[in-house]
Amino acid sequence: MTDVHSPSQRSFNMSRIKLKNTRPEILVRKLIYRLGFRYRLHCKDLPGKPDIVFRKQKKVIFIHGCFWHRHDCRFFKWPETNEKFWRDKIDGNVHRDFRVYESLLHLGWRYLIVWECEIRESTEAVLAFKIKEFLEL
C-alpha cells in the first residue's frame, strides 16, 4: 500500500513529532501528580534522559510510543516505504533502549515503561494502579 501523503507532506508531518512533552507523557504526568507523587523531568545526568524521574526512590518512568520503540501491539506496523531506513531506525531505538535499561539497573535505578497503547486503552484506574504499585515497592 502506498503512502496517502506526498513525500513533502509526509516529511512535514514527521518533522512535527515531538521528542518530549508529548500528549501521552502529559497525561501520565498529570495522573502521577494527582496520586500525590512529585517528580523531575528529563534528567540529563541519567542514561536515556528518562521522561519522569523520582530521585529519592531511584526510579524512573519511560513513556514509549508503540511505533518508535517497536511495541508488539496493534499500533505498531512496519512502514511499507523506505523499509531499510525504518528498520534500521526502529531497531536502533530498541537496541539503545536496552543499553539504557542495563545502564540504569547497573547504577541501582529501577524503571517502568508505560506504552502509548496502555494509555489509550487502559482506564485511568488501571494505569494509576500500575504506576502506584511501581512507586510504592
Dihedral sign, CA of 125, 127, 131, 133?
A: positive
> Any idea of the CA torsion for 12, 52, 86, 71, to the nearest 10 degrees?
-120
- The pLDDT mean for the chain works out to 91
Per residue in 73-99, pLDDT (tens digit) is: 998 999 888 899 999 999 999 999 999
DSSP 75-104: T----SSSHHHHHHHHHHHHHHHHHHHHHH
Q: Which residue has the higher pLDDT, 53 or 79?
A: 53
Q: Tell me the percentage of the chain whose pLDDT exceeds 70.
A: 91
Lowest mean pLDDT among 1-15, 26-40, 54-68: 1-15
pLDDT greater at residue 19 or residue 105: 105
Task: Tell me: pLDDT of 101 over 90.
Answer: yes
The DSSP element (H or E) to which 64 belongs, if any, is: strand 59-64
Confidence at 11, pLDDT banded by 50, 70, 90:
low
126 forms bridges with which residues in the sheet?
none
99: Cβ–Cβ under 8 A, 6 or more apart, which residues?
A: 47
In this model, does residue 1 exceed pLDDT 80? Answer: no
Q: In whole angstroms, give the CA distance from residue 63 to residue 69.
A: 10
> Which CATH entry fits the domain spanning 20-136: 3.40.50.300, 3.40.960.10, 3.40.50.410, 1.10.3080.10?
3.40.960.10
